[in-house]
Amino acid sequence: MLKAVLFDLDGTLLDIDLGVFLREYFTALGPVVTEVMGLDDEQAGLAAVLAGTDAMSEPHPGLTNREAFNATFHGLTDADLDLEEFALPFEVFYRNVFPSLRRDFGPKPGASEVLTTCATLGLKVAIATNPIFPRSAIDERMRWAQILDADVQAVTSYENMHATKPHAAYFAETAGMLSVQPAECLMVGDDRSLDMPAADLGMRTFYVGGDRGVPADWSGTLYDLAYLLPKLIEDA
């Protein structure tokens, strides 16, 4: 029986050019890291951030993604610094600079409608974005998608997760946050490599990306999904 829907954020609920966004995000973050760490070389600080991000993408049992990031970041910089403590430069960055990265990014057609459908049907919802960002950065992108006030029960971030996509541990942990079994979940996403592997854990999948021939239980638009959800519950 379907009890929960996991929604990817970037490219699924949020219409965003992820390549452009990530490039501009790390470019904007570089000077802040350099300032906080007192480095002379901005590239060294940015390289440490990228290495820490890579470390989150590898298995690290027992560590949150934030802890995995920090372990690598500290090892490369000898800096006793936790980015999540939000020293003033980081507070300024997320308050004044990060929102400027929005460009023309906005909600995907049907995003609000499908989340409203989930709430009406009593389905639990997780914003199942790849948890390599702090919650503040995810909240801002949810604001861009105009879903910050949506009825969701979980948001995956680097503070609360111990794995990233496409590892099975990520999908299992997200289901656990919703107190459901993986087989009771539907994963909705636009990335065949990061989102669709949820099927390996027994989740059903709905693909909203533009590639052809992607293995998924269903594919279409978010409007199509909103139409499908009541039928999935009725057929249970």
Tens-digit pLDDT profile for residues 8-64: 999 999 999 988 998 899 888 888 777 766 666 667 777 878 888 999 999 999 999
How many Å apart are CA 177 and CA 154, to the nearest integer?
7
| Domain final position from 52, 73, 102 | 102
| Model confidence at 159: pLDDT above 50 | yes
Query: Are residues 136 and 223 both part of a single domain?
Result: yes
Task: Show the tokens assigned to 56.
Answer: 């989150």
* List of residues 6+ apart from 217 with CB closer than 8 A: 199, 204, 205, 206
Query: Are residues 64 and 180 both part of a single domain?
Result: no
Query: Are residues 94 and 157 both part of a single domain?
Result: no
Query: Are residues 163 and 230 both part of a single domain?
Result: yes
CATH of the domain at 229: 3.40.50.1000
- For residue 226, the cross-strand partners are none
Query: Are residues 91 and 109 both part of a single domain?
Result: no
pLDDT score, position 37: 67
Least confident window among 66-80, 96-110, 148-162: 66-80
pLDDT score, position 94: 80
User: Do 48 and 29 meet the contact criterion of CB atoms below 8 Å apart?
Assistant: no
Q: What is the pTM of this model?
A: 0.92
Q: First vs last Cα of the chain: how many Å apart?
A: 5
pLDDT score, position 162: 98
Task: Show the tokens assigned to 132.
Answer: 């390599």
Q: What is the mean pLDDT of residues 106-135?
A: 97
Query: Are residues 36 and 116 both part of a single domain?
Result: no
Measured CA angle at 66 (ends 53, 152), to 5 deg? 105
| Model confidence at 87: pLDDT above 60 | no
Question: ω before 166 within 30° of 0 (cis)?
Answer: yes
Least confident window among 70-79, 118-127, 176-185, 207-216: 70-79
27 lies in which domain range? 19-102
- For residue 137, the cross-strand partners are none
| Domain final position from 70, 102, 134 | 102
pLDDT score, position 105: 97
In this prediction, residue 80 has a pLDDT band, given cuts at 50, 70 and 90, of low
How many Å apart are CA 149 and CA 65, to the nearest integer?
25
Query: Are residues 10 and 79 both part of a single domain?
Result: no
If one compares 83 and 228, the residue with the highest pLDDT of the two is 228
Task: Show the tokens assigned to 70.
Answer: 């920090």
Measured CA angle at 90 (ends 88, 94), to 5 deg? 120
Percentage of the chain exceeding pLDDT 70: 91
Query: Are residues 125 and 215 both part of a single domain?
Result: yes
| Domain final position from 102, 132, 159 | 102
Query: Are residues 193 and 229 both part of a single domain?
Result: yes
Q: How much is the mean pLDDT over the chain?
A: 90
In this prediction, residue 225 has a pLDDT band, given cuts at 50, 70 and 90, of very high
């002379």: which residue's tokens? 40
Residue 206 parent element (H or E): strand 204-207
Kindly report the number of other CB atoms within 10 A of residue 183's CB atom.
13
Query: Are residues 135 and 146 both part of a single domain?
Result: yes
| Model confidence at 86: pLDDT above 50 | no
